Every structure is written in structure tokens, then in C-alpha cells.
């Protein structure tokens, strides 16, 4: 764990300013976080919503479940921890999260309206030759 000497006020202010800006994930880490965001497996929150100068985001990545658990490669160093990301990447992850929720909801709505039986039933009738009805 990183230690900051409290007696050095300048160093303390510098460290606080670093947290206010957040840090960037590397490309590999961001892509993994974006995949989890699309699945709805992240939590994002402003680091300090009451501070207008603070533009960093708190990011928590949750483990995927089901089929995604077996398909998506995870960076164990990022999983299950809270990270402070900068304004730009946090904003992009929020957009991806919103997009994933909208797309998954649309897929579920389409599935709810879909009629599997009649599509297969009428397709089978149309494929039978006309002379087979005897």
C-alpha cells in the first residue's frame, strides 16, 4: 500500500490532484472493461460529485456470469477492485454501458414478440411439393 507522509502538505496536495484527474487504462484493459460495460458488469460513479473540478470516475468491474464467463478473457489484476479512471475513459465506458443495455433490451423485446412455431410451420408447408397432398 502506498504511504503519504502527512507532514508534507505539498506532496499531499499533489497526490490529491492525481486522484482528481484519474488515470487511463491501457488499451487491453480498456477493451476488457468496455466488454464488461456492454454486458452491464461494471459500476461507474463520479469520484466526487460535489466537486466541479473533479472529473475522475470510480470504476468497479464485476465478474461475468453464464456463457460470458467462459468466453471473455479477464485481467485478474483489474477484477473485483475499484479503479479511478479519467474523465474521457469514464465517459466512454458510460456510453458503452448505456448502449449495451439498450441493445440487450431490444434483443429481449424482439425475442418476446417472435413466434417460432408459425415461422417453422408455414415454412415446412411451403417446401412440400404440390403433388404430395394425395
> For residue range 25-38, what is the model confidence (pLDDT) as tens digits?
999 999 999 999 99
Question: 120 in a domain, yes or no?
Answer: yes
C-alpha distances in Å from residue 70, one per residue of 62, 74, 77: 14, 10, 18
Tally of domains within the chain: 1
Per the structure, the complete domain to which residue 81 belongs is given by: 9-127
Tell whether pTM > 0.85.
Answer: no
Question: 3 in a domain, yes or no?
Answer: no
Number of neighbouring beta carbons within 10 Å of residue 126: 7
Question: 133 in a domain, yes or no?
Answer: no
Question: 87 in a domain, yes or no?
Answer: yes
Which position has the grid cell 411451403? 126
Question: 16 in a domain, yes or no?
Answer: yes
Q: Which helix (H) or strand (E) holds 43?
A: strand 42-46
Question: 42 in a domain, yes or no?
Answer: yes
Predicted confidence (pLDDT) per residue in 40-66, tens digit:
999 999 888 888 878 889 999 999 999
Do residues 4 and 17 touch, judged by C-beta distance below 8 A? no
Least confident residue range of 15-19, 23-27, 38-42: 15-19
Q: Which helix (H) or strand (E) holds 60?
A: strand 57-61
Question: 132 in a domain, yes or no?
Answer: no
Question: 103 in a domain, yes or no?
Answer: yes
d(CA 74, CA 88): 22
Amino acid at each position: 500500500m502506498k504511504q503519504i507522509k502527512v507532514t508534507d502538505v505539498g506532496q499531499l496536495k499533489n497526490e490529491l490532484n492525481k486522484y482528481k484527474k484519474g488515470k487511463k487504462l491501457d488499451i487491453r484493459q480498456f477493451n476488457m472493461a468496455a466488454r464488461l460495460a456492454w454486458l452491464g458488469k461494471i459500476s461507474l460513479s463520479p469520484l466526487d460529485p460535489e466537486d466541479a473540478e473533479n472529473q475522475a470516475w470510480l470504476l468497479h468491474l464485476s465478474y461475468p456470469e453464464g456463457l460470458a464467463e467462459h468466453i471473455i478473457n479477464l485481467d485478474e489484476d483489474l477484477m473485483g477492485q475499484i479503479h479511478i479512471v479519467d474523465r474521457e475513459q469514464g465517459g466512454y465506458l458510460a456510453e458503452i454501458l448505456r448502449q449495451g443495455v439498450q441493445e440487450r433490451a431490444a434483443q429481449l423485446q424482439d425475442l418476446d414478440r417472435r413466434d417460432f412455431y408459425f415461422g417453422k410451420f408455414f415454412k415446412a408447408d411451403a417446401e412440400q411439393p404440390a403433388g404430395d397432398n394425395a
